[in-house]
Amino acid sequence: MKGFLYLCALGLVMLFATWAYQVNYRTKAEMDYVSELQRDIAAERQSLSVLRAEWAYLNRPERLRALVEMNFTELRLMPLHADHFAEIQDVAMPLPPMSGDIGALISGMMDTAGHADAEEDEP
Amino acid sequence: MIRRPLRPLARILRARASGQDPNKIEAEARAARMRGKRAAEKRRAENRLWLLAAVFLAAFAAVGGKMFILATTEAIEPVASVTTSPIVNQRADIVDRNGSILATNLITASLFAHPQDMIDRIAAAEGLAQIFPDLNADDLLRQFSGPRRFVWIRRKMSPEQQQAVYDLGEPGLQFGPRELRLYPNGAFAAHILGGTSFGREGVYAAEVIGTAGVELQFDTYLRDPANAGAPLQLSIDMPVQAALEQVLAGGMMLMNARAATAVLLEADTGRIVAMASLPDFDPNHRPLPPVSGDPADSPIFNRAGQGQYELGSTFKVFTAAQAMDSGFANPATMVDTSGPLVWGRYRIRDFHNYGAQLSLMDVIVKSSNIGSARLAMGMGADAQQEFLGRLGLLEPLSLELPESGRSRPTTPRRWSEISTMTISYGHGIAATPIHLAAAYASLVNGGLRVRPTLLLDSPLPTEADRVVSPETSANVREMLRAVVQRGTASLGNVDGYDVGGKTGTADKPIPTGGGYYEDRVIATFAGAFPMSNPQYVLVVTLDEPEDTTGTEPRRTAGWTAVPVAAEIIRRIAPLMGMHPNYANPAPVVLARQ
């Protein structure tokens, strides 16, 4: 009886020792993984800061100004001017519901187009 | 186990039959039994000894083996936990009010050479001279051929240059990491940012320290790891600053000025939205301070916060505000402007003769020196000194720039009566344009004193900071608007933005002493917009401007500083999201009566 108890105790000790070792090694593996991740994060942060610096460098006012001048024929970007603000009453009211008369519809569209052209021609 | 009897019956009977002593048999058996027992005991003792020896051997082997492993492997510190502190830069970024980057860091490399490791010194020297145009191949070769075993080549370089050096394939050229302070916008807000340089420097690391501007002022904050890399946010607005610098540079060129400066700040808070001083420099390559000549001629001189100028007639507004606030006069009070005003050996004249008297409003609108001198005399020197002190015009700036501490305005040693008279129209007192902008902001924002700041989270002025009453502030606003509508700053009108302001043209003092130049002026416009509820205060100062488009050169601020200021407002007001208001003549019409 006594011998059996000793045997059981020994078995338990072995069991727990194995378990403790396993946990220990798993923890170490996780810690290695974490430090690896942190190294990766540091590398990512560094490339992020380089990218941010490059983005800021590409968006420097001097370069944007040059780009605006280079692409003036296509984009026609001008410095923001007080006239560029619109009043709320300048916004057109929604068109009345469409009627069945196709001719009136077309002439209405042509009016709108002509109006848009006239606006564009303004300096 | 079969137990053998001590007296086996068969042998006893046989012994008895043969007449032998049966006891002998018993004794023999007893002895045999004894021998067997002893042998067993001996065996057991031996086994125990062997076991003990084995256990000890195993234990010693284990300890010895571990010691061997420890001795032959590299030591690793046991880690109980992994730190989770974020990896931050050596130096925090600087951003504008919208978060756009004004200063950041770039990891680059420094370059040094170990000439003893070099394979082809001539090729290395020529290759380096090609990559870095400022290096000379012959000098490099001389350094590589000398006895030195370590040669610095570059403190910092761009990633492209680093790659080019890699491509040389020379093992004697080596890199050390360097954190480089980068100002991606180049010569932009240069006097605000200042610059950096390397402090203590080793092969594998270098300390970046601020040398001027906010980089120096907030050096400890920027380097404090406790901030976890949080950027320093300034009140500067990048698009506005860029537009202001561009228009100011154009204006400086058109007006043939030597230098120019402009300050734009929020009228209610004193936060500086944009501030420029031209000529400027690229903070990536901050020039060294000049060793000879006037330090004010160097591009690193910040005219806005360091340059003290006699700001001329812009000071008349302070005289008028003092008169109205103390109850000495109101806008309609008539002031004696008959001239010239003779005081001892001094004669005070006006630009034109404005007749015998003008209302206080017209003294400002027409900018009468005689009128403001008479007003100041009527109120006395002490009252003037006290009022200017209340506006912060007699103390150094509290602005977050290293030069602020030395910005105390220059005032006469003895505040005599003639000083009182000249100071009333801005001569005899020299202040920085930021002083002027802050004082104007304090006058037009309803009367609360603002302190100029570069930070976005500065405290707001409270009722304890009151310098003039709201009524005085309203009167000052009317006067400033009238100056633009029908006075000396008529070119300053910008449709929709209700600009108001005051011009100032001051003759430049001769630096060697002895009076003023005849043909060199400091032209200043100090104004605010929109005048119905001023949000921004703008001060533009041109150094020695000369408008040569007319038949004779025009130098007064109305012809030089004012059009530049108007163009600045035209550009930046929409940028700041200010909606133009074309139908707001109300305060101005009232002012005309």
Rounded average pLDDT over B402-419:
88
> In sequence order, what DSSP letters do the residues of B333-364 get, joined into one string?
-EEE--SPEEETTEEE--SS---SEEEHHHHH
Q: Which CATH number fits domain B239-284+307-494+556-591: 3.40.50.800, 1.10.3720.10, 3.40.710.10, 3.60.15.10?
A: 3.40.710.10
Q: Specify the pLDDT at position B566.
A: 94
Query: pLDDT category, B236, cuts 50, 70, 90?
Result: very high
| Euclidean distance between CA atoms B399 and B435, whole angstroms | 10
**B87–A57: do the CB atoms touch at under 8 Å?**
no
Closest in B105, B496, B574 to A49, CB measured:
B105
**Residue B464: CA atoms inside 13 Å, Cβ hemisphere, count?**
2
**B87–A38: do the CB atoms touch at under 8 Å?**
yes
Q: Specify the pLDDT at position A120.
A: 44
Q: Specify the pLDDT at position B197.
A: 86
Q: Specify the pLDDT at position B257.
A: 93
* Residue pair B180/B281 in contact by the 8 Å Cβ criterion: no
Query: Is the pLDDT reported for residue B31 higher than 50?
Result: yes
- ipTM attached to this prediction: 0.74
Window from A112-121, B116-125, B375-384, B542-551 with minimum mean pLDDT: A112-121
Query: Is the pLDDT reported for residue B158 higher than 70?
Result: yes
Residue percentage of chain B with pLDDT more than 70? 96
Closest in A52, A61, A81 to B104, CB measured:
A52
Rounded average pLDDT over B167-187:
88
CATH 3.90.1310.10 residue ranges of chain B are 94-233
pTM of the model: 0.78
User: pLDDT tens for residues B389-398?
Assistant: 999 999 999 8
Catalytic center residues of B: 313
A85 contacts in chain B (CB < 8 Å) = 574, 579-580
From chain A, which residues contact B within 8 Å (Cβ)?
Answer: 31, 34-35, 38, 41-42, 45-46, 49-50, 52-53, 56-57, 59-62, 65, 79-85
Query: Is the pLDDT reported for residue B102 higher than 90?
Result: yes
Window from A45-54, A81-90, B79-88, B561-570 with minimum mean pLDDT: B79-88
Closest in B184, B243, B570 to A56, CB measured:
B184
Query: Is the pLDDT reported for residue B590 higher than 60?
Result: no
Rounded average pLDDT over B96-100:
92
Query: Is the pLDDT reported for residue B88 higher than 70?
Result: no
Q: Specify the pLDDT at position B48.
A: 96
B574 contacts in chain A (CB < 8 Å) = 80-82, 84-85
Rounded average pLDDT over B549-578:
90
CB neighbourhood size of B200 (10 A):
8
B188 contacts in chain A (CB < 8 Å) = 60-62
CATH number 3.90.1310.10 is the correct assignment for the domain at B94-233:
yes
Peptide bond into B279 cis (omega under 30): yes
Residue percentage of chain B with pLDDT more than 90? 44
Mutate to test the interface with B, among A28, A38, A78 (most CBs of B within 10 A): A38
The radius of gyration computed from the CA coordinates of chain A, to the nearest angstrom, equals: 38
Q: Specify the pLDDT at position A15.
A: 97
Kind of pairing between the strands at B259-266 and B536-543: antiparallel
**A85–B106: do the CB atoms touch at under 8 Å?**
no
Q: Specify the pLDDT at position B356.
A: 83
> If we measure between CA atoms, which residue out of B390, B521, B447 comes closest to residue B382?
B390
Q: Specify the pLDDT at position A115.
A: 57
**A35–B243: do the CB atoms touch at under 8 Å?**
no
Q: Specify the pLDDT at position B588.
A: 43
Closest in A50, A53, A82 to B580, CB measured:
A82
Rounded average pLDDT over B149-172:
87
B105 contacts in chain A (CB < 8 Å) = 49, 53
Q: Specify the pLDDT at position A112.
A: 65
* Residue pair B93/B105 in contact by the 8 Å Cβ criterion: yes
B573 contacts in chain A (CB < 8 Å) = 82
Query: Is the pLDDT reported for residue A114 higher than 60?
Result: no
What count of CB pairs under 8 Å joins A to B? 70
**B182–A53: do the CB atoms touch at under 8 Å?**
yes
Rounded average pLDDT over B234-250:
94
Closest in A45, A60, A80 to B184, CB measured:
A60
CATH 3.40.710.10 residue ranges of chain B are 239-284+307-494+556-591
In angstroms, the separation between the Cα of residue A38 and the nearest Cα of chain B is 8
**A50–B106: do the CB atoms touch at under 8 Å?**
yes
Phi and psi torsions of B434, nearest 5°: -70, -40
Provide the mean pLDDT of chain B: 88
Query: pLDDT category, B87, cuts 50, 70, 90?
Result: low
Ramachandran category for residue B344: left, alpha or beta (phi over 0 → left; psi -120 to 50 → alpha): left
Q: Specify the pLDDT at position A63.
A: 93
Q: Specify the pLDDT at position B592.
A: 34
Query: Is the pLDDT reported for residue A80 higher than 50?
Result: yes
User: pLDDT tens for residues B299-330?
Assistant: 889 999 888 999 989 999 999 999 999 999 88
**B242–A45: do the CB atoms touch at under 8 Å?**
no
Query: Is the pLDDT reported for residue B584 higher than 60?
Result: no
Q: Specify the pLDDT at position A118.
A: 46
